[in-house]
Structure 1
Amino acid sequence: MADRILVFYGSYRRDRMGIRLADYLVAGLRARGADVELIDAKAVDLPMLDRMYKEYAPGEAPPAMADLAAKIVAADAFVFVTGEYNWGPQPGLKNLTDHYLEEWFWRPAAIASYSAGRLSGARSNSIWHAILSEMGMAVISSTLTVGPIGQTLDTAAQPIGDGGAALDRQFPRFADDLAWWTEAARAQRARQAPPY
């Protein structure tokens, strides 16, 4: 059975460079046999959080929110691709994730961050670890930090230069770690119902 993985990307900016990393990850995970889908927060376009999905009566949530809830529940694992805004997480990605809670539970999550500078979104990466853990996901220890993004991946999401070579070296461990936890979590959910 192929791992069902959702890759979340959250920038709403006009000239989004992080989409290169999201596309690289989708292609890389797909090449390893996973069933991967990119969830672009800008394309989903949920409103600023007013009500969580669970706060709507059955059948009354906005269609985009209900459709995404079904995809999250059906997924085996998640990858969050995040930039860093003023030492913090992207508001678009944070807004999207906050619309859900129980839907995330008991599945592994991985974090890949990027920035235009040499710190590669590392501060946002660290912040997302705490956020995703609080939301009930098992966050894997392997992460990717990519920067400067424009000197690591070209417009077709192909690795370039020393940064691209480093990303290609780091990706297999990241993907292996996610695959291990995905299989472990799926087996445990099949063996025993989650405690809540």
Structure 2
Amino acid sequence: MPDRILVLYGSYRRDRMGIRLADYLVRNLAARGAEAELVDAKTVNLPMLDRMYKEYPRGEAPPEMEALAEKIRTADAFVFVIGEYNWGMQPGLKNLTDHFLEEWFWRPAAIASYSAGRLSGARANSLWHGTLSEMGMVVISSTLTVGPIAATLDVEGNATGDAGKSLDRAFPRFADDLAWWTEAARAQRERTAPPY
């Protein structure tokens, strides 16, 4: 059975560059046999957080929220594609994640960050580690940092130049780490029910 991996991306900008990295990840995870699916916060378009999914009476959540909750619940793992806004988190992705809580529990999460500059979103990458852990995920130690993104990936998400070669070299370890934790978490959930 292939690993079901959600690749979550959160920029709402008109000329967004991070979608290149999201596309790269979906394609390369699928090439390794995973069932990878992009969840684009802009396309899902949840409202600013007013009420979490769990706060709606059963069957009364908006349809797009209900559909996403089901995708999250049935995923084996998550990859968060994160940009850096003024040393911080992208609000679109943070808003999407905050609509849910228990749905994220007991699965691994990986972080792939990017920026237009040489720091590759590293500051936001660091911020997301604690947030995802608090939301009940096991954050793997391998991360991808991509920057400058325009020199790393073309508009179709294909690796280009020396920066792209570096990404291609880093990806297998990142994917192997995620696959190991995905298998471990699945085996543990089958062995015993989570404690809460």
TM-score normalised according to structure 1 size: 1.00
Kindly provide the amino acid, as one letter, of the partner of residue 22 in structure 2: A
Larger CA deviation: 153-162 vs 184-193: 153-162
Shift of 1:177: 0.1
Identify the residue that residue 82 of structure 2 maps to in structure 1. Answer: 82
Q: What CA deviation, in whole Å up to 9, does each residue of 1:70-126 have, x standing for no partner?
A: 000000000000000000010000000000000000000000000000000000000
SS of the equivalent of 1:125 reads: helix
Q: Deviations over 1:116-148 (max 9, x none)?
A: 000000000000001000000000000000000
Percentage of identical aligned residues = 80
Which residue identity does 2:96 align to in structure 1? L
Q: For the residues of structure 2 that align with 1:54 and 1:69, how far apart are their CA atoms?
A: 10
Which structure 1 residue ranges, 4+ long, deviate > 2 Å from structure 2? none
2:142 aligned with 1:142: yes
- Structure 2 counterpart SS, 1:150: helix
Match of residue 45 from structure 1: 45
Q: Deviation per CA, 1:17-72: give whole Å up to 9, x if none.
A: 00000000000000000001100000000000000000000111000000000000
Task: Provide the secondary structure at the position in 2 that maps to 1:144.
Answer: strand
Gaps of 5+ in 2: none
Partner of 1:17: 17
Aligned length: 196
CA RMSD of aligned residues (A): 0.3
Which residue does the alignment assign to 1:109?
109
Q: Distance in 2 between matches of 1:123 and 1:28?
A: 25
| TM-score, scaled to structure 2 | 1.00
**In structure 1, how many angstroms separate the alpha carbons of the residues matched to 2:7 and 2:15?**
20
For 1:157, the equivalent position in structure 2 comes to 157
Which residue of the partner structure matches residue 94 of structure 2?
Answer: 94
Unaligned ranges ≥5, structure 1: none
Query: How far is the alpha carbon of 1:156 from its aligned partner?
Result: 1.1
CA distance in 2 between counterparts of 1:123 and 1:88 reads 7
Aligned to 1:123: 123
Query: Quick one: distance in 2 between partners of 1:36 and 1:173?
Result: 17
Residue matched to 2:26: 26
Provide the rounded CA distance (Å) in 2 between the counterparts of 1:113 and 1:67. Answer: 26
